[in-house]
């Protein structure tokens, strides 16, 4: 987990969706700390204002709030228009907004399933499309990092919409990566394991449940939002200039099948 600052993103303009708390907020802090001008999105302007006040100032210009729902086409157009106009361009898109609704799969409602898909899949597709339209016209070699989940790989019973949505974004990223590789536009995915964010307050704030969650993770602890932001930074930077269409799992070893740490099968 790094708390260092640098000028590695100086002059770069970054739009981050779902930046009012959790991983998105950590990403905003990360990019601003490393010199980028950021546009922070979320649904509630007030929460974004609180985040904005805490962001380090940068030489490239003021950070900007672009509130709006990323599941709505009209709202996405406005988010991108304001981001690009105010910052004078866009270099990096972080598709982070996402949510989940638990339910036994036999009881899942169509509204809940479609609601999750609308934000986690359609929202990512529409944001990528908006960025591409700008980058192709402006001749920018943009970079996209999508925040997926270990559940793009590991099934998550009782979270059917969430599992389906994260599997889908993996293929959106791989398809777009191939389609635009020759034009220097890169798409990659970060797939977090269990991370300490407000979405997980139920187990983060309960010592017994926290211990239970940690026991399933090979590194025996959940991750911090800043550790996901570090990985996003790598995939958005020149240090990953030859990487596209890939998923970087940031999960303390969760996708290594922890049950096999001790031999039980032969």
User: 28 or 132, CB closer to ligand NAD?
Assistant: 28
Question: Residues interacting with ligand NAD, by CB under 6 A?
Answer: 17-24, 41-43, 69-71, 96-99, 119, 147, 149, 192, 194-195, 197-200
Which residue lies nearer to ligand NAD by CB, 41 or 83?
Answer: 41
Contacts of 111-115 with C-beta under 8 Å, sequence gap 24+, read 112/161, 113/160, 113/161, 113/164, 115/71, 115/161
Q: Is 249 a catalytic residue?
A: no
152-189: buried (b, 16+ CB within 10 Å) or exposed (e) per residue?
A: bbeebeebbbbbbbbbbbbebbbebbeebeeeebbbbb
* Rounded least distance, CB 28 to ligand NAD, Å: 10
Are the beta carbons of 20 and 51 closer than 8 angstroms? Answer: yes
Cβ 99 to ligand NAD shortest distance, Å: 5
Closest distance to ligand NAD from the beta carbon of 151 (Å):
7
Residue number, 90 or 140, with CB nearest to ligand NAD: 90
Contacts with 171 (C-beta within 8 Å, 6 or more apart), sequence order: none
Shortest CB 182 distance to ligand NAD, Å? 29
Tell me which of 30, 159, 162, 249 is the catalytic residue. 162
Helical H segments across the chain, by residue range: 22-33, 45-54, 73-87, 110-117, 123-138, 160-180, 201-204, 207-215, 225-236
Nearer to ligand NAD, 67 or 140 (CB): 67
Give the residue numbers annotated as catalytic, written as ranges: 162
């Amino acid at each position: 987990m790094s708390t260092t600052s640098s000028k590695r993103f100086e002059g770069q303009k970054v739009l981050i969706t779902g930046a009012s708390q959790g991983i998105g907020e950590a990403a905003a802090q990360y990019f601003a700390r490393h010199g980028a001008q950021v546009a922070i999105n979320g649904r509630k302007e007030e929460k974004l204002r609180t985040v904005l006040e805490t962001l380090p100032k940068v030489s490239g210009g003021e950070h900007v709030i672009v509130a709006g729902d990323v599941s709505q086409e009209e709202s996405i157009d406005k988010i991108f228009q304001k981001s690009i106009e105010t910052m004078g361009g866009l270099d990096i898109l972080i598709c982070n907004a996402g949510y989940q609704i638990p339910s036994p799969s036999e009881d899942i409602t169509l509204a809940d399933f479609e609601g999750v898909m609308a934000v986690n899949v359609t929202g990512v597709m529409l944001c990528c499309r908006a960025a591409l339209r700008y980058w192709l016209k402006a001749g920018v070699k943009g970079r996209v990092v999508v925040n997926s989940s270990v559940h793009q790989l590991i099934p998550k019973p009782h979270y059917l919409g969430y599992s389906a949505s994260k599997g889908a974004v993996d293929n959106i990223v791989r398809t777009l990566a191939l389609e635009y590789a020759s034009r220097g536009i890169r798409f990659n995915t970060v797939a977090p394991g269990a991370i300490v964010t407000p979405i997980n307050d139920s187990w983060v704030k309960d010592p017994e449940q926290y211990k239970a969650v940690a026991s399933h993770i090979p590194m025996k602890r959940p991750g911090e939002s800043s550790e996901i932001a570090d990985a996003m930074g790598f995939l958005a930077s020149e240090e990953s200039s030859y990487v596209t269409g890939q998923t970087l799992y940031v999960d303390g070893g969760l996708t290594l099948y922890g049950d096999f740490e001790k031999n039980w099968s032969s």
